[in-house]
Copies of this chain bind each other. A is one copy, B any other.
């Protein structure tokens, strides 16, 4: 074994700890505080594990989906979380995240750096069935938090049903069943007065 190799891997894993301090806009279900990217990544992976039967392309590789869940937000350690309803932030997001990837992934040994970058790009581009299902789960999970925490994040940011509908419609690219379910939740949120119609 090359001892420098393990040292590099450990330094990367210690740097990755910073994902626990990147906060998102969604609240935990109990409403006590906002969720961070590390928790989201775990919950995303757990949702994928439980809900994989609803993928429209059923022969997908679950291992690849789980790897994407673990890796997809790492660039936010340097680029920060960009709120999905922040149009200005989203214009610069791609460039900021590419710079972050150029800084973060090369901490790993070369072939692992390439694998992590490939997983991140695959998730971003949504050209594979694994990425489409992962993308669906990545939109469903915050919808669950926002709905079951009573809509606090929607209120805080003045978001309405049309915006939620548009953003979560990405779910339909990976799972029509989950998209049907999500549409039902949005309707219930409007009917229940926790999301402006």
Which residues of A are at the interface with B, using a C-beta cutoff of 8 A? 1, 6, 9-10, 12-14, 16-21, 28-30, 32, 35-36, 38-39, 41-43, 45-47, 49-51, 54, 62-63, 66-67, 70-71, 108, 112, 144-145, 148, 177, 181
Using A13-B47, A38-B43 as known contacts, say yes or no to A6 and B181 having CB atoms under 8 A apart: yes
CA distance A9 to B51 in the complex (A): 7
CB of A112 within 8 A of CB of B50, answer yes
What does DSSP make chain A's interface, helix, strand, loop or mixed?
A: helix
CA distance A42 to B43 in the complex (A): 9
CB of B13 within 8 A of CB of A144, answer yes
Chain B CB within 10 A, most for which of A13, A35, A63, A145? A13
CB of B35 within 8 A of CB of A28, answer no
Contact of A1 among B9, B18, B177 (CB under 8 A): B177
CA distance A47 to B66 in the complex (A): 13
CB of A10 within 8 A of CB of B49, answer no
